[in-house]
Structures are given as structure tokens and as C-alpha cells.
């Protein structure tokens, strides 16, 4: 047990991250403890200063250095320590060296770069990922700048203007109010391929953080008693780039061709590169479901994009396609605990309100939504990372 301030600091600095790198539970618990520590150590003014003055400057700096192509050039040169002058060479446009010096110094102080000596830096895993589009990290940064930050900044004014009523109409929220196109979230993605591609990349990066549903839901139970001669086994509705069907196919490679169907909007399906066994089918889930009597209708991170009235419309349409006593409904979502929700979960919930007039739900709220639309919850299957749950339901 550390007894002096110096010993305490030495113990914290000596923490070996590699010792729990493969154990995400342990790593997240340590991260949460570090957050709690900061909340106790900082005084109120320091805390607000960090949140409201330091963080915005860090995000603006990160975006500028990303736009200048510095991270990309450095990544392509395979990292290594670099001087300011060397990093300046990577800029894809003319930038005054003193501007770059100040931006890099900030990134050093935020541990996004490692400062070696004056005007010399080493990359970190984060700065390397920022130089690699395949990591999805640059898209997460771009999407924050393009959409999230302006919408979050506008939230106080938007809610004041609307009498602090809970937004439930996808056509009216802080995002629609503040962004120049004044379009709902998915309409904006569909009308601008840059934002559309960014979102698909973001979803892929996000999915890497989460456990695969095939690892904690007994997918074999979908095959038991399934009649694949008359209707598909698994329809992934709003399935994005098809990651969940790909995972299922890997676990059950012998399933017949076209027994797995990916539905989404045409612009998203265009980006899907999948095994030929998976059938692509453009479908708007606010219209009647064209596949009748499938064994399973699967939705992942779809209902959190919609308020209860909109979610009820989607559920009612899927109910009409389901075969009583045979079809299953599987909904994979982040489920909020009744108390003790993490900052990740609560931020996601308010984020959904801000950009989509939507929300994250607790088990209780999900059960109410499903029961009010004619379903019965069979079981909540929780993942081993404590992030997501598969809600198994059937017609009531």
C-alpha cells in the first residue's frame, strides 16, 4: 500500500497495461477506477476546465492534424521518432511550422503523441491508428466533428426551444436543427456518400469493440426444427454491412445458399462485400416485411435508433410476417442497467436523443415495448463483455 504521494504516483505510473490487455473486463474496471480517481482528485473548477476548455481544444487539434495528413504520412513511414521538421514534411498542404509545433505540443501533453525531447515525438497506438483508415479510428474522429459535436453543443438551445419535451420524432431533434442540411440522420447519410461511408466504417469499428452474438447466444437453437425449404433461416433487418450474418455463417458454414438474408437501404447494401451464400435484399423496415415465415428476424443496434412510437411501427410490421409457434425475434442491443449505468452507456443514450430522437432501453422498458406490440420475451442473453444483450422474443 502506497504511503506517500510520491509512492502513490510511482505505483500508478508503474501500472502495467500489458498485464490485462487481453482481459477487457479487468481493463475496463481499471479504466473506470481511474475515472473515479480523477473525479475525486480534481476540484470543481479543474474538472469543468478539463471538460469544457481542454477537451474541445484536443478534438479540434486532432481533426486539424488528421486533415493535414500527418498521421497518415507517419503511419506509412511505419512510425518511429520524428522531429517537427520531419513531421512537417508529411503535411498534404502548406502549413506554417509554428502552427504545427503548437498542435503537436498539445497532442504530446494529451498523450496522443509521446514527447521525446523538444519538438521531437514518438507515435502512440492511437496516433498510429489515426493514420490508418482501416482502423476505423479516423472515421470516428471525422463523424464526431461532422455530426456529434455540433449536435451536442446545440442540445441546450434545442431542448429549451422545444420546452424540454423528449424528442420522439426522427425529423425533429438537435441534429436536424443544427446541421446545414436540416435532414434527419439516416436521410443525410443516404444523400451524402462521404457521411454514409463514414457511418458504415464507424459501425464496423464499433462492432469490433463488442462481443460477437454467436459467442453468447445458442445459434444452434435456430437450426433445430427449422424448415429451410419454404423460408430463410435468418433475416438480418437493418443489418448494415452484414457482419453478424458473416459471423453466423462462420459458425454454421453448411447452411444452404440464400438461407441468410441481409436487408438494409440500397446505399448501405452497395458497400457490403459478403459470401455469395448471403442474399442481399434492399428493404425499408417501415414497409411490410417481404419475407414471410422466416425462422428468425434479427435486429442489431436498430431499435436504439428509434423512439418507442417508431420502434412499435417496426415491430408491428415484423409481427405480421412471423409464423406463430415457429418464427423467432432476436434483438441485440446495449441494455441499460436500472442503476449504475456506465458513462459509455449514458452518453450513448443522450447521444441517441440528440441525433435521432431515440434512446437506449432497460430490460423493463424493452419488455414493455415488446409486450405492447404483441410479443413475449423468452430470455435476455447477456454477452460476456457486459456491453450487449440478445433479447429473444416470440409472438405472444
Residue 186 makes contact with ligand SAM by CB under 6 A? yes
Nearer to ligand SAM, 162 or 190 (CB): 190
Residue 136 makes contact with ligand SAM by CB under 6 A? no
Stretch that binds ligand SAM, among 74-82, 139-147, 300-308, 366-374 (CB under 6 A): 300-308
Catalytic member of 88, 136, 283, 304:
304
CA distance readout (Å), 103 to 98, 109, 355: 9, 10, 30
Residue 265 makes contact with ligand SAM by CB under 6 A? yes
Provide the β-strand partners of residue 30: none
- Classified as helix, coil or strand, 361 is strand
Residue 53 makes contact with ligand SAM by CB under 6 A? no
Q: What would the DSSP string read from start to end of 176-243?
A: HHHSTT---HHHHHHH-HHHHHHHHHHHHHHHHHSPPGGGTS-THHHHTT--TTTS-SEEEET-TT-H
Q: Are 111 and 105 in contact (CB under 8 A)?
A: no
Q: Are 151 and 143 in contact (CB under 8 A)?
A: no
Provide the β-strand partners of residue 300: 332
Minimum separation from the CB atom of position 242 to ligand SAM (A) = 8
Which residue from 302, 311, 336, 353 is in contact with ligand SAM, where contact means CB under 6 A? 302
Which residue from 188, 295, 300, 361 is in contact with ligand SAM, where contact means CB under 6 A? 300
Residue 264 makes contact with ligand SAM by CB under 6 A? yes
Dist CA 226 CA 50 (whole Å):
56
Residue 170 makes contact with ligand SAM by CB under 6 A? no
Nearer to ligand SAM, 203 or 251 (CB): 203
User: Is 304 one of the annotated active-site residues of the chain?
Assistant: yes
Residue 207 makes contact with ligand SAM by CB under 6 A? yes
Stretch that binds ligand SAM, among 87-95, 157-165, 232-240, 251-259 (CB under 6 A): 232-240
Minimum separation from the CB atom of position 67 to ligand SAM (A) = 26
> How much helix, strand and coil, in percent to the nearest 5, is found in the chain?
50, 15, 35
Q: Are 211 and 243 in contact (CB under 8 A)?
A: no
How many residues interact with ligand SAM (rule CB under 6 A)?
A: 18
Minimum separation from the CB atom of position 296 to ligand SAM (A) = 14
Q: Are 288 and 227 in contact (CB under 8 A)?
A: no
Residue 124 CB contacts under 8 Å (≥ 6 apart), including other chains: 111, 112, 113, 114
Minimum separation from the CB atom of position 240 to ligand SAM (A) = 3
Touching ligand SAM, residues 276-295 (CB under 6 A): 283-286
Which residue from 170, 239, 248, 357 is in contact with ligand SAM, where contact means CB under 6 A? 239
Q: What would the DSSP string read from start to end of 254-299?
A: TSPTTSEEEEE-HHHHTT----TTEEEEE--TTS--SS-S-SEEEE
CA angle 252, 253, 254 (to 5 degrees): 95
Minimum separation from the CB atom of position 155 to ligand SAM (A) = 20
Minimum separation from the CB atom of position 15 to ligand SAM (A) = 33
Q: Which residues bind ligand SAM (CB under 6 A)?
A: 186, 203, 207, 238-240, 243, 264-265, 268, 283-286, 300-302, 305
Catalytic residue set: 304
Amino acid at each position: 500500500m502506497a504511503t506517500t504521494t510520491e509512492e502513490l504516483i510511482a505505483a500508478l505510473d508503474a501500472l502495467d497495461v500489458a498485464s490485462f490487455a487481453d482481459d477487457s473486463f479487468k481493463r475496463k474496471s481499471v479504466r473506470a477506477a481511474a475515472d473515479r480517481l480523477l473525479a475525486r482528485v480534481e476540484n470543481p473548477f479543474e474538472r469543468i476546465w478539463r471538460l469544457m476548455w481542454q477537451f474541445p481544444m484536443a478534438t479540434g487539434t486532432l481533426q486539424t492534424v488528421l486533415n493535414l495528413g500527418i498521421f497518415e504520412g507517419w503511419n506509412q513511414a511505419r512510425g518511429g521518432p520524428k522531429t517537427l521538421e520531419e513531421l512537417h514534411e508529411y503535411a498534404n498542404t502548406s502549413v506554417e511550422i509554428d502552427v504545427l509545433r503548437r498542435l503537436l505540443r498539445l497532442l504530446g501533453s494529451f498523450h496522443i503523441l509521446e514527447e521525446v525531447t523538444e519538438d521531437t515525438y514518438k507515435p502512440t497506438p492511437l496516433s498510429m491508428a489515426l493514420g490508418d483508415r482501416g482502423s476505423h479510428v479516423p472515421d470516428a474522429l471525422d463523424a464526431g466533428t461532422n455530426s456529434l459535436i455540433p449536435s451536442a453543443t446545440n442540445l441546450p438551445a434545442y431542448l429549451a426551444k422545444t420546452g424540454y419535451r423528449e424528442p420522439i420524432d426522427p425529423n425533429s431533434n438537435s441534429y436536424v436543427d443544427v446541421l446545414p442540411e436540416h435532414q434527419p440522420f439516416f436521410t443525410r447519410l443516404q444523400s451524402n456518400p462521404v457521411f454514409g461511408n463514414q457511418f458504415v466504417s464507424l459501425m464496423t469499428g464499433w462492432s469490433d469493440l463488442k462481443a460477437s452474438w454467436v459467442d453468447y447466444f445458442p445459434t444452434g437453437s435456430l437450426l433445430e426444427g427449422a424448415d429451410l425449404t419454404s423460408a430463410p433461416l435468418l433475416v438480418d433487418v437493418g443489418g448494415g454491412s452484414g457482419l453478424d450474418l458473416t459471423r453466423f455463417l462462420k459458425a454454421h458454414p453448411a447452411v444452404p445458399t440464400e438461407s441468410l438474408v441481409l436487408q438494409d437501404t440500397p446505399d448501405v447494401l452497395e458497400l457490403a462485400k459478403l459470401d455469395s451464400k448471403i442474399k442481399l435484399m434492399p428493404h425499408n423496415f417501415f414497409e411490410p416485411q417481404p419475407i414471410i415465415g422466416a425462422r428468425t428476424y434479427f435486429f442489431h443496434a436498430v431499435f436504439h435508433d428509434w423512439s418507442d412510437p417508431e420502434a412499435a411501427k417496426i415491430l408491428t410490421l415484423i409481427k405480421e410476417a412471423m409464423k406463430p409457434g415457429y418464427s423467432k425475434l432476436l434483438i441485440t442491443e446495449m441494455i441499460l442497467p436500472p442503476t449504475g449505468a456506465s458513462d459509455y452507456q449514458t452518453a450513448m443514450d443522450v447521444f441517441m436523443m440528440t441525433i435521432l430522437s431515440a434512446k437506449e432501453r432497460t430490460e423493463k422498458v424493452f419488455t414493455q415495448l415488446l409486450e405492447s406490440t404483441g410479443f413475449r420475451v423468452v430470455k435476455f442473453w447477456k454477452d460476456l463483455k457486459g456491453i450487449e444483450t440478445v433479447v429473444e422474443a416470440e409472438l405472444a
